[in-house]
Amino acid sequence: MEPLKVELPKAVTDAITAAVFDSFKQVQKSVNSDLPLYLSKKQACEYLNISNRTLSEWIDTGDIPYKHIGQTYRFNRNDLDKFMATK
């Protein structure tokens, strides 16, 4: 018996392809990062490609995961990846 062959509409295959490439880029970004596991505010902004003002707003609202040690902020790269996946 010959296997059933189903062709999906181009829009669906394009959406699947885009989602796979986006996922691959996210994994590649976190695996190949030259940044340390725990980032400073400046490094976190660079990693997320956001402004310092945006990061400060997310800190103030408690949206973004971080550790505050004295006057120093630290951001776990893995937590940032999870956070951005929900944005």
- pLDDT tens digits for range 22-44: 887 777 665 556 789 999 999 99
* Buried-state track 16-28, b at ≥16 Cβ within 10 A, e below 16: eeeeeeeeeeeee
Q: 0.85 cut: is pTM over it?
A: no
Q: Which two tokens stand for residue 63?
A: 């949206």
User: Whose structure tokens read 């509409």?
Assistant: 9
Report, as an integer, the average pLDDT of 41-58.
96
CATH number of 35-87: 1.10.1660
Say if residue 64 is exposed, middle or buried (CB neighbours under 10 Å; 0-12, 13-18, 19+): buried
DSSP 39: E
Q: Distance between CA 57 and CA 70 in Å, rounded?
A: 19
